[in-house]
Structure 1
Amino acid sequence: MWERFGFYGMRALLTLYLANHFLFSQGTSNGLYGAYTSLVYLTPLIGGWVADRYLGSKGAVKLGAVLMSIGYFTLCFGGEQAKPHAIIDGQRYEVVIGGERGQETPPQYAVIDGRQLQIRGNDDKTVSLLAADGSEARKVAAGSFRSDADRSPLFVLVMLLGLSAVSIGNGFFKPNISTVVGTLYAPGDRRRDAGFTIFYMGINVGSLLSQFACPLLAVYVGWWAGFLLAAVGMVCSWALVQFDGGKLDGYGEPPAGVADRRLLIIILAVLAIPLMYLLFSNVLASGDAATKAAREGAGVLGYIASLPVLGQLMFGSFLLAVIGIPVWAWRIGNRQEFQMMMVAIILVVFNVVFWTLFEQAGSSLTFFAQSNTELDIGAYTMPAAQVQVFNPLFIVMFAPVMGWLWGVLGRKRLEPSIPVKFALALVGAGAGFLVLVFGTQFAGDNFKVALVWVAATYLIHSIAELCISPVGLSMITKLSIARVVGLMMGTWFLSIAVAQYVAGIVAQFASVETVGGQVTNLKVSLDTYTGVFQTIGLISVGIGVVLLILSPLIKKWMHGVQ
């Protein structure tokens, strides 16, 4: 619970922190967010291997907790907000941000000849500069206004090092805490499922609490306070394992007969932080280049060439896995084993589609909440980052219901097969966005939709998550040839990492122009988000329907695996 408290608390803040404090463009913020979340799912492949060979799962958990704590504490030191400026007709002008603390969309003013002129974007991509009485003092032609900021290289360095430490620490923590829980029960112990149910609820309780509390501190105290709360949560996580009163003695210990490599592993983990920093720096330097290449029709090769190093490595290794593993299975396995491995690979690919859409929560959906959602619900104004709390809230509410439903259907031999559950999840992911698109037609004169439509999207996505998330790892272990179960598990996590990265790319397409971190034309913003959400929603529903049609054949190739 405490580890998820820290992780999801920071995750709730990240894109808005990048856009509103460092004043990166939405495209750059979404790209960094996608890179970070992809590494969160990629580093556990190494962390799990190190734990199995040398550290033991308990030692890896403690090392991961320390590194993540250091990362969150590092993020508290963001320095002063970046200084925005605008380039108008080739000349640079200072930009002043108005409003009060707690106001998430304050007005921006360009300082021209000693006058503060409010910046307002127009539907035709021109920009109006308004005098104090609201009259148009100057109109800037489309393409002649560019927003940027002066940000401290030192504090950008500190922020990227913080993300790097969290990424490395997560690699040690994430795969091994589950292993510790599993070792608490002997084979055949019926309490194992109950134990993992408690574990699963702890994940969602931590997520629920942090995504409510951290955004409040960030808005009303400062970004540093939100990250500090995440760091405190991580320290609590470490303390519970470190000072366990002997309750974990004998569980998750290093393998017998292996030399103590803890100091070397700690040194290598610390040295890996600069490597992660270089990957993040490359993503930051690339900016929106890949998105621009895609929009300009550069083609597949041109698009891949424009990707940051992390993206090229991610896509290259995933393509190698999904092509190479079936070829290998065809050569060394019998017909049944080959068909089962093909099913596993097919579902891995569909898994990428689902998580690409689902992970819009931390990027495009959060920016949509900030600019185009009515967050004032009467007695309370919800911070934009806080809308992510709907997901764990609905998971806690509906996980028992879905478990009961599957049980009832199973006893009647009506429970959907694994491919059908995957198909339902894809249809649900797309339907969630289409519901939000439908809700945009009821937007008010301020081009903002009611919060209930965003909540409905999270509700549908949460139910879809419950269709796919619990069965994925189990499916891989049952379908894989015994000799490559570990490789297939790695491919599964790689698929999620790729999905996280692609989610950042999709979010870049939904990015809108900002000044001082704020959207200046809410109509253009609403139209942009609506177009992207409708596109990915329809694509996901279509892919889900295709999988549903293919599910009888896929089920046949599973040869009785349930």
Structure 2
Amino acid sequence: MSPLKQKIAAIPEGAGALFFIQIFATLGFAVLYSTLVLYSTKKLGFSVKDATAIMGVFGAFNYGLHLFGGYLGGRFISNRNLFVGGMVLQVLGCACISGGTSAQLYWGLALFLTGSGLNVTCLNLMLTQRFKPEDDRRESAFLWNYAGMNLGFFIGFTVAGVYQLKQDYESLFIFATVGNFMAIVLAGWNWKRISDLNTPLLQAGPNEFKWRLLAGLLILVGLVPLVQVMLHHAEISGYLVLAISVAIAVILSYLTFVHKDLRERRNMAAYLILALGSLVFWTLYQMAPSGLQLFADKNVDRIVWGYEIAPQWIQNINTFVIMFGGPLMAMLFDHLRKKGWNIDIPRQFSASLIIIGLGFLVLPVGISFAAADGMVAFKWIFICFIFQSIAELLISPIGYAMIGRLAPTQYQGVMMGTWMLVTGTGSIFASYFSALIPEAKEGMAASTNPTYHHIFSMLGWGSVAVGVVLILLIPVLRRLITNGPAKE
């Protein structure tokens, strides 16, 4: 058997199918993520403050509901069923938004967010279940899956940019509808391959299974009107997300403190420290669809070699690096570890925070060299996204893979959801920073550049500082992260 066939044969059943499902499942989110602020301000006439507030809640609910999805999936509804149910809601949501009114936007977002919020955790849990805790292939599998997700982003961002230049939003959201529907088709085609392997629901009897399924479906449907109301009160909803984040942090800290298994307790403590550090990363990262998007739209000279670059295409810098860099980084790390390099989770996290901080610090430099009209050369935001992409590879897929290693079995779904809730909390903070930007109007680049300079400098230096703190904590984190025998 050839080396290639041996590698393919070694892939656990279902992992390959999840890679392709991930691509299509990402399309709708990619469209909304890259277009929501521009669509709200240009098409529906929302103010920058209102548009970025909705974007903040969009990110917060999408990632925050991952926590709830982690609890529902495998307990009330199988991860496989909840994933498909969520995709159905995403299809309905994108179709609704294509109507082109403010009312349809709110209902469409409510449908979409309920679906995407609950089903993403399921996909990650279906993947992680296919590996034993000590299986080193898990990290590579998540890097490959992350590359698949970013291929979906690449397609979504590219199509969004084409329709953005034409101002044809209706066709754009119909495209997102069709793309998400294809994820349902692929899931059905691979139904047996992506079944749950190790969840509490598998231990339930037939009657208990039916009652749990009914309760899960009622929760799934009931969340839609609740999310719709909260979107109408974006500012209050943002505060609620922050309050929930603090409460979850307190609860997890308590569970860690009282956990009896010493090894698992240490792993959970390491998880909490790394999650706190990653909050800084995700705050900067979530500036991409809000503050950075507005900056690119009005303050960056997007004419490159005679062609206009759509704002969404700039985010494809990130997806391009992730698609090709994910597999390459997986191979590089495997090679370096075989040679004795100690490339572990604490080192990757600290490097990620420093690198994304440097990426943001590039922008004030570019603003300082802006033209007389205040327009910043395209190369500066290009460099920013290159740094951001490298940082993302070091923290995001590794963070997902880390759950399978550090989370006790009974907390795996909740800790996966909590990890994603951190991203949602970062989205709220990013919306607060973005709301500081004056209303975006033509010819305002010179007047808004000082505000951008201040925001980007503050975020950049803050991330670098936290990265340095994590470097100092590397010895502590390494002692906490252990797979040794449990002792008390």
Tell me which amino acid in the other structure corresponds to 1:269.
L
Aligned to 1:539: 462
Deviation at 1:467, TM superposition (A): 1.0
Residues 50-77 of structure 1 show CA distances to partners (whole Å, capped at 9, x for unaligned) of: 3313432332222111110111111111
Aligned to 1:123: none
Residue 326 (structure 2) pairs with residue 399 (structure 1): yes
Given that residues 215 and 226 in structure 1 are in contact (C-alpha distance below 8 angstroms), is that contact kept between their aligned partners in structure 2? no
Indicate which of 206, 228, 231 corresponds to 2:174. 228
Given that residues 142 and 397 in structure 2 are in contact (C-alpha distance below 8 angstroms), is that contact kept between their aligned partners in structure 1? no
Q: How does 1:139-150 map to 2 (within 5 A)?
A: none
Residue 305 (structure 2) pairs with residue 387 (structure 1): no
Q: Counterparts of 2:144 and 2:277 in 1: how far apart (Å)?
A: 29
Deviation at 1:162, TM superposition (A): 0.8
Q: Counterparts of 1:206 and 1:16 in 2: how far apart (Å)?
A: 20
Q: Counterparts of 2:413 and 2:153 in 1: how far apart (Å)?
A: 29
Q: Counterparts of 2:442 and 2:287 in 1: how far apart (Å)?
A: 19
Tell me which amino acid in the other structure corresponds to 1:277.
Q
1:494 and 1:179, CA in 2 relative to 1: closer, same or farther beyond 3 A? closer
Q: Counterparts of 1:53 and 1:43 in 2: how far apart (Å)?
A: 16
Q: Counterparts of 2:476 and 2:259 in 1: how far apart (Å)?
A: 23
Aligned to 1:353: 280
Q: How does 1:75-114 map to 2 (within 5 A)?
A: 75-78=97-100
Indicate which of 354, 357, 365 corresponds to 1:438. 365
Name which of structure 1's ranges 327-336 and 371-380 shifts more when overlaid on structure 2: 327-336
Q: How does 1:234-253 map to 2 (within 5 A)?
A: 234-242=180-188, 244=189, 247-249=190-192, 251-252=194-195
Q: How does 1:36-185 map to 2 (within 5 A)?
A: 36-78=58-100, 155-181=101-127
Residues 13-46 of structure 1 show CA distances to partners (whole Å, capped at 9, x for unaligned) of: 1111111122222222111101011111122333
Q: Counterparts of 2:43 and 2:167 in 1: how far apart (Å)?
A: 14
1:364 and 1:348, CA in 2 relative to 1: closer, same or farther beyond 3 A? same
Residues 125-154 of structure 1 show CA distances to partners (whole Å, capped at 9, x for unaligned) of: xxxxxxxxxxxxxxxxxxxxxxxxxxxxxx
1:495 and 1:190, CA in 2 relative to 1: closer, same or farther beyond 3 A? closer
Aligned to 2:232: 281
Q: Counterparts of 2:108 and 2:290 in 1: how far apart (Å)?
A: 19
Q: Counterparts of 2:459 and 2:396 in 1: how far apart (Å)?
A: 20
Size of the aligned set, in residue pairs, is 454
Deviation at 1:207, TM superposition (A): 0.8
Deviation at 1:524, TM superposition (A): 1.4
Given that residues 218 and 225 in structure 1 are in contact (C-alpha distance below 8 angstroms), is that contact kept between their aligned partners in structure 2? no
Given that residues 66 and 421 in structure 2 are in contact (C-alpha distance below 8 angstroms), is that contact kept between their aligned partners in structure 1? no
Indicate which of 441, 445, 448 corresponds to 1:525. 448
Deviation at 1:424, TM superposition (A): 0.7
Q: Counterparts of 2:264 and 2:211 in 1: how far apart (Å)?
A: 39
Tell me which amino acid in the other structure corresponds to 1:325.
L
Deviation at 1:403, TM superposition (A): 1.9
Q: Counterparts of 1:350 and 1:196 in 2: how far apart (Å)?
A: 21
Q: How does 1:463-474 map to 2 (within 5 A)?
A: 463-474=390-401
1:560 and 1:190, CA in 2 relative to 1: closer, same or farther beyond 3 A? closer
Residues 531-553 of structure 1 show CA distances to partners (whole Å, capped at 9, x for unaligned) of: 11011111111111122122223
1:178 and 1:475, CA in 2 relative to 1: closer, same or farther beyond 3 A? closer
Given that residues 437 and 534 in structure 1 are in contact (C-alpha distance below 8 angstroms), is that contact kept between their aligned partners in structure 2? yes
Match of 1:361, SS state, is: coil
Deviation at 1:191, TM superposition (A): 8.5
Indicate which of 232, 236, 241 corresponds to 1:314. 241
Tell me which amino acid in the other structure corresponds to 2:439.
E
Deviation at 1:464, TM superposition (A): 0.6
Q: Counterparts of 2:131 and 2:337 in 1: how far apart (Å)?
A: 26
1:181 and 1:318, CA in 2 relative to 1: closer, same or farther beyond 3 A? closer
Aligned to 2:346: 419
Q: Counterparts of 1:167 and 1:429 in 2: how far apart (Å)?
A: 27
Tell me which amino acid in the other structure corresponds to 2:176.
A
CA RMSD of aligned residues (A): 2.8
Aligned to 1:549: 472
Aligned to 1:513: 439
Name which of structure 1's ranges 445-454 and 460-469 shifts more when overlaid on structure 2: 445-454
Deviation at 1:367, TM superposition (A): 0.4
Query: What is the TM-score normalised by the length of structure 1?
Result: 0.74
Deviation at 1:332, TM superposition (A): 4.6
Given that residues 356 and 387 in structure 2 are in contact (C-alpha distance below 8 angstroms), is that contact kept between their aligned partners in structure 1? yes
Residues 169-190 of structure 1 show CA distances to partners (whole Å, capped at 9, x for unaligned) of: 1134212233445567899999
Given that residues 76 and 215 in structure 2 are in contact (C-alpha distance below 8 angstroms), is that contact kept between their aligned partners in structure 1? no
- Structure having the larger proportion of residues in helix: 2
Q: Counterparts of 2:136 and 2:452 in 1: how far apart (Å)?
A: 48
Deviation at 1:311, TM superposition (A): 2.7
1:507 and 1:161, CA in 2 relative to 1: closer, same or farther beyond 3 A? same
1:551 and 1:474, CA in 2 relative to 1: closer, same or farther beyond 3 A? same
Tell me which amino acid in the other structure corresponds to 2:476.
L
**If you compute each CA radius of gyration, which structure gives the higher value, 1 or 2?**
1
Q: Counterparts of 1:184 and 1:547 in 2: how far apart (Å)?
A: 31
Tell me which amino acid in the other structure corresponds to 2:155.
L
Aligned to 1:106: none
Query: What is the TM-score normalised by the length of structure 2?
Result: 0.85
Identity %: 26
Given that residues 69 and 235 in structure 1 are in contact (C-alpha distance below 8 angstroms), is that contact kept between their aligned partners in structure 2? yes
Given that residues 179 and 252 in structure 1 are in contact (C-alpha distance below 8 angstroms), is that contact kept between their aligned partners in structure 2? no
Given that residues 371 and 525 in structure 1 are in contact (C-alpha distance below 8 angstroms), is that contact kept between their aligned partners in structure 2? no
Residue 41 (structure 2) pairs with residue 22 (structure 1): no
Given that residues 63 and 420 in structure 2 are in contact (C-alpha distance below 8 angstroms), is that contact kept between their aligned partners in structure 1? yes
Q: Counterparts of 1:374 and 1:281 in 2: how far apart (Å)?
A: 34
Tell me which amino acid in the other structure corresponds to 2:455.
V
Tell me which amino acid in the other structure corresponds to 2:108.
G
Q: Counterparts of 2:418 and 2:127 in 1: how far apart (Å)?
A: 23
Aligned to 1:479: 406
1:452 and 1:179, CA in 2 relative to 1: closer, same or farther beyond 3 A? same
Given that residues 519 and 525 in structure 1 are in contact (C-alpha distance below 8 angstroms), is that contact kept between their aligned partners in structure 2? no
Aligned to 2:9: none
Given that residues 65 and 417 in structure 2 are in contact (C-alpha distance below 8 angstroms), is that contact kept between their aligned partners in structure 1? no
